[in-house]
A and B are shown apart, each in its own frame.
Chain A
Amino acid sequence: AQTVTQSQPEMSVQEAETVTLSCTYDTSESDYYLFWYKQPPSRQMILVIRQEAYKQQNATENRFSVNFQKAAKSFSLKISDSQLGDAAMYFCAYRGFTSGTYKYIFGTGTRLKVLA
């Protein structure tokens, strides 16, 4: 069965600095997607970045980038030039496609604190 592990329950970063959130996963599938979601106090889950497993190039979205290591099954999120608004829970998620249906697995989240 697929699993997603976020081993850092909480991280802190100074404003304007860079922080990396870790995520590892396990799967036997070769084709899948990986996501990072941000959950602010509103509880809305905002899609931060998405990576297709078949793409070797790491996805980037402005200040957010990932380090996707397929062989190591690692998918870390790097936030550059951290801003106060980046403070939130961050969830790593895996999406596979098996037997004609999507399957989503979420990590337990990392709480990011941004210090002024």
Chain B
Amino acid sequence: DSGVTQTPKHLITATGQRVTLRCSPRSGDLSVYWYQQSLDQGLQFLIHYYNGEERAKGNILERFSAQQFPDLHSELNLSSLELGDSALYFCASSAQTGGKAFFGQGTRLTVV
């Protein structure tokens, strides 16, 4: 158990819908990272938050947004979902930017 909790584990939704993925980092970790993995591709970096502030943005679509709350948990919002958004979404946390990272088990999103 990495200490990073992602909910839900699985999500099935229809095209055009909006979903919210949640990530609770390890206790004390200020950095939260979101990644997307489609099929057997490498993990695509989406966004990084540090102590509530956005620190870096990767290949995140405009339909996607994220935030980190005062209690340090983070949410990734995906809207106007398309079939191609079906993927595994990982969250990771670290105490400092670039430090040892702990990954959650991922949320599997299926868009039908």
Residues of A within 8 A of B (CB): 1, 9, 37, 41-47, 89, 91, 101-106, 108-109, 111
| Distance in angstroms between the alpha carbons of A109 and B96 in the assembled complex | 14
Give the contacts of B24-48 with A (CB-CB under 8 A). 33, 35, 37, 41-45, 48
Q: Are B108 and A45 in contact (CB under 8 A)?
A: no
Among B41, B48, B108, point to the contact of A43 (Cβ < 8 A).
B48
| Distance in angstroms between the alpha carbons of A14 and B101 in the assembled complex | 25
- Residues of B in contact with A, size category: 20 to 34
What per-residue 1/0 map shows which CB atoms of B76-102 lie under 8 Å from chain A? 000000000000101010000010111
Q: A104-B106, A109-B101 are in contact. Are A44 and B44 (CB under 8 A)?
A: yes
Q: Are A109 and B42 in contact (CB under 8 A)?
A: no
Which of A37, A89, A103, A108: most chain B CB closer than 10 A? A108
| Distance in angstroms between the alpha carbons of A104 and B102 in the assembled complex | 12
A102 contact set on B, CB distance < 8 A: 88, 108
Which of B1, B2, B48, B56: most chain A CB closer than 10 A? B2
> What are 6 contact pairs spanning A and B, CB under 8 A?
A1-B1, A43-B58, A44-B58, A104-B103, A106-B92, A106-B101
Ranked nearest first, the 9 interchain pairs of A and B with the lowest CB-CB distance are A45-B43, A43-B45, A106-B103, A47-B42, A108-B100, A44-B45, A45-B42, A109-B101, A46-B42
Q: Are B1 and A89 in contact (CB under 8 A)?
A: no
Q: Are B88 and A108 in contact (CB under 8 A)?
A: no
Q: Are A37 and B101 in contact (CB under 8 A)?
A: no
A103 contact set on B, CB distance < 8 A: 105
**B14 vs chain A, min Cβ distance (A):** 20
**B106 vs chain A, min Cβ distance (A):** 6
Least CB separation from A91: chain B residue: B101
| Distance in angstroms between the alpha carbons of A15 and B29 in the assembled complex | 33
Q: Are B1 and A104 in contact (CB under 8 A)?
A: no
A42 contact set on B, CB distance < 8 A: 45, 58
